[in-house]
Structure 1
């Protein structure tokens, strides 16, 4: 068994894999959002648009950091992911009723608090967004810190 002093940072190829996983998650989330709006004809609410504003550029920022591998791309991607996570958390809390509907930004058109789609009777679109941002943040944090093995 090794001590903390003997531990080394994770290898460069493993960090590339982590960054690739974050890019893949951002790509799947982007394609999912486009599928919901363009194929299923579900018009996004205001909070969904804000989450898209922070998710869609992650595909390009993380993709640019992959080839050639540049772990410094995390410094540009992490603020996007954290801000998107904040909007997703607010949207989830609004959906669940923890935030009063009077505080929702959707004053005209679609309501941000209306349940438009539920999978397995509890997984909503804002929850999917929150999970995607959470996973991306965790992966980016691992790349940034070079978590020790």
Structure 2
């Protein structure tokens, strides 16, 4: 069962990476290419209706997956995994409240948790790639360099968490922090 769940989550992570890349490319090139501009309008239209529940769904899946791996599969979380969980778990009730009361402020301030989560997961992923722990953050019984998951030659648990944090951050910036361009059609 764990292998099936891992395959689903790893494949979803790869698909998310493609979507993140395409969305960022569109946002960067929207003024240069008409096709990118049209896609940008479609993204804007989609996020106008789903920007409150979509980040909540992403974080909920990530949190439940994390709990599944530690409680059902028996994977022991390392010290950095716990810090990443501290950044991710509060996002569920935080974004849930924002979704229920229909306020963007919760999505806007979710960046206070997602940016540290991004930094932690990048550091953790780097430790897994190099297998070299230059400091003593992690203990020897559950090392941070342990790869419980390694799919598609690059997907690990920190990479999955990084994808979640990046997705919520990009949605938050796109919806709440960017200035409206005057050439947008509403």
TM-score, normalization by structure 2: 0.68
Farther-moved stretch of structure 1 (33-42 vs 72-81): 72-81
Matched, 1:90 2:123: yes
Runs of 4+ in structure 1 deviating by more than 6 angstroms, as ranges, are none
Bigger shift: residues 112-121 or 19-28 = 112-121
Instruction: Name the structure 2 match of 1:60.
Output: 93
Contact map agreement 2:111 2:169 (CA 8 A) in 1: yes
Q: Displacement of 1:108 after TM fit?
A: 3.8
- What is the alpha-carbon distance in structure 2 between the residues aligned to residue 104 and residue 126 of structure 1? 18
SS in 2 for 1:34: helix
Cα deviation, 1:72-117, whole Å, max 9, x if unaligned, reads: 11243111111111111110111111x8312251034200012222
The answer to whether the 8 A contact 1:61-1:76 is kept is no
Q: Which has the higher contact order (CA 8 A, sep 6+)?
A: 1
Is the deviation greater in 81-90 or in 70-79? 70-79
- Under a length normalisation based on structure 1, what TM-score does the superposition of the two structures give? 0.83
What is the match of residue 35 of structure 1?
68
Corresponding position of 1:120: 152
Gaps of 5+ in 1: 2-6
Structure 2 residue aligned with 1:101 = 133
The secondary structure found in structure 1 opposite 2:148 is coil
Once superposed, what is the RMSD of the aligned Cα atoms? 2.4
In structure 1, the residue matched to 2:51 is: 18
Give the C-alpha shift of residue 142 in structure 1. Answer: 1.5
